[in-house]
Amino acid sequence: MNRIESYNPEVLKWARKRTGKIDTKEFRDLKPKILEWEEKISFPTYKQLERLSDIYNIPVAVFFFPEPPEVETKRPEFRSLNNLDLDDLPYQLNRVIDRAPIIQQNLKELLEDSNKGSIKFLDKVKGKSRGDLIEFLREKLKVNIDEQAKLKPDELLKRFREALFSLGIYVFKNPFHEKTVSGFCVYDDNYPVIFLNSSMSKTRQLFTLFHEIYHLLNKISSIDCVDYTVDKNNIERDCDQFAAEFLIPEDRLIEKINDESLDLKKIVELAKYFSVSLEAILIRLIKLNYLNWSAFNNYKEQMRADNYPDYNKGKSGGNPYYNLISYLGNNYVNLAYDAYRSGKIDELELCDYLGLKASQLDSFESHWRE
């Protein structure tokens, strides 16, 4: 097995320190060897350097630079953090957060600075009341409450993502490997983006989507915490209320309750009808004075005890190419391939836009075209 000796050990040290706290099993298992490679006590194979490249999220070629590159790290500035410290977030989640500005730059390049959809859309919502804003957004997304009730959560999420893309609001998904964060958004005049935690249920992702949209409508970048027991500030409560009112209109909710008793069976029925999580429907019922917080906590404990879906772990695994297509969304993948076919970008740039290695491109495309 060929060992690589021509890499720069100072760059390896720089890359490890630049990446920050890494708490993955893969890194823990590899760390003793990494420390040896940094001192050139032993040497890695090229395959091991590729693994290191994935962990540090930098190209393998950087390890052969004569000196560590001067990289200006631009991280999103979140106005609302729900008392979370970015430095304490898991390594995998921080990688997703660091990817957001890269995705925004990709969109800028792919759309050739021609996208003004988000600006026009945001201009039209200025000064609107929450009720008027919900009505306006419903019209733009072209999904009324009757259609919402007929669609499964995954179908509904896909419809909303595609419609938002046309409005200049770009929605992506990633597994965050973190149970307390359901999503985040990064505001930009032209390329605002939302990232949803794909490890969570589709109903939770739907609620988070509209929570983050309200942040963007207020020109705020934010991270959304799942736990309703967190002492949320006024901004976060307003976003929760917007999402609840959008997904669960008061008049339809009252109609569906129909003076029936609100036991857990009925609450589950309501949640399924509106394609929302059980917690979301409970919050809405509290706001409309059907329940109090004591009942909310009792229902939560009952849901945990009965292992209701909201408290199950998110699904993992599956085909990695289908997963990536789902994470990026068909519209974004189409943009990248259109640029490639037109000669605007080459194959390596296409791989960068899609987050693939060159050896994976053919397999990815065959799955995408199915």
pLDDT digits (tens, 9 = 90+) for 1-58: 789 999 999 999 998 887 777 878 888 899 999 999 999 999 999 999 988 988 887 8
Q: Is residue 17 located within the same domain as residue 123?
A: no
Q: Is residue 14 located within the same domain as residue 39?
A: yes
Q: Is 175 left (phi over 0), alpha (psi -120 to 50) or beta?
A: beta
Is residue 80 one of the residues assigned to a domain?
no
**What tens digit of pLDDT does each residue of 177-195 get?**
778 889 999 999 889 999 9
Short-list 249, 252, 183, 253, CA closest to 214: 183
Q: Is residue 297 located within the same domain as residue 352?
A: no
Q: Percentage of the chain with pLDDT > 70?
A: 87
Q: Do the bridges between strand 170-174 and strand 193-197 make them parallel or antiparallel, or are there none, so unpaired?
A: parallel
Q: Is residue 58 located within the same domain as residue 136?
A: no
Mean pLDDT, rounded, for 53-64: 86
Short-list 3, 2, 9, CA closest to 64: 9
Mean pLDDT, rounded, for 236-261: 91
Domains held by the chain: number: 3
Would the pLDDT of 310 be above 60? no
Is residue 252 one of the residues assigned to a domain?
yes
**What tens digit of pLDDT does each residue of 201-221 get?**
999 999 999 999 999 988 889
Q: Is residue 358 located within the same domain as residue 264?
A: no
Is residue 346 one of the residues assigned to a domain?
yes
Q: Is residue 338 located within the same domain as residue 290?
A: no
Short-list 129, 108, 103, CA closest to 118: 108
Q: Is residue 219 located within the same domain as residue 361?
A: no
Query: Which of 264, 294, 311 is where one domain is finished?
Result: 311
With beta carbons less than 8 A apart as the criterion, state whether 75 and 23 touch. no
Per-residue pLDDT at 126: 73
Q: Is residue 231 located within the same domain as residue 362?
A: no
Per-residue pLDDT at 250: 94
Is residue 69 one of the residues assigned to a domain?
no
Q: Is residue 271 located within the same domain as residue 208?
A: yes
Domain that holds residue 338: 320-368
Is residue 191 one of the residues assigned to a domain?
yes
Q: Is residue 167 located within the same domain as residue 219?
A: yes
Is residue 78 one of the residues assigned to a domain?
no
Nearby residues of 4 by Cβ (< 8 Å), 6 or more positions away: 43, 44, 45, 46, 49
- What number of CA atoms fall less than 13 Å from residue 132's CA on the CB side? 6
pLDDT band at 59 (very low <50, low <70, confident <90, very high): confident
Is residue 75 one of the residues assigned to a domain?
no
pTM, entire model: 0.82
Cα–Cα distance, 29 to 148 (Å, whole number): 47
Instruction: Give 297 or 64, the one with higher predicted confidence.
Output: 64
Instruction: Give 86 or 99, the one with higher predicted confidence.
Output: 99
- Give me the numbers of helices (H) and strands (E) for the chain, helices first please: 18, 4
Instruction: Give 310 or 340, the one with higher predicted confidence.
Output: 340
Mean pLDDT, rounded, for 143-164: 94
Instruction: Give 238 or 177, the one with higher predicted confidence.
Output: 238
With beta carbons less than 8 A apart as the criterion, state whether 333 and 325 touch. yes
Is residue 74 one of the residues assigned to a domain?
no
With beta carbons less than 8 A apart as the criterion, state whether 211 and 232 touch. no
Per-residue pLDDT at 117: 53
Q: Is residue 274 located within the same domain as residue 194?
A: yes
Q: Is residue 20 located within the same domain as residue 146?
A: no
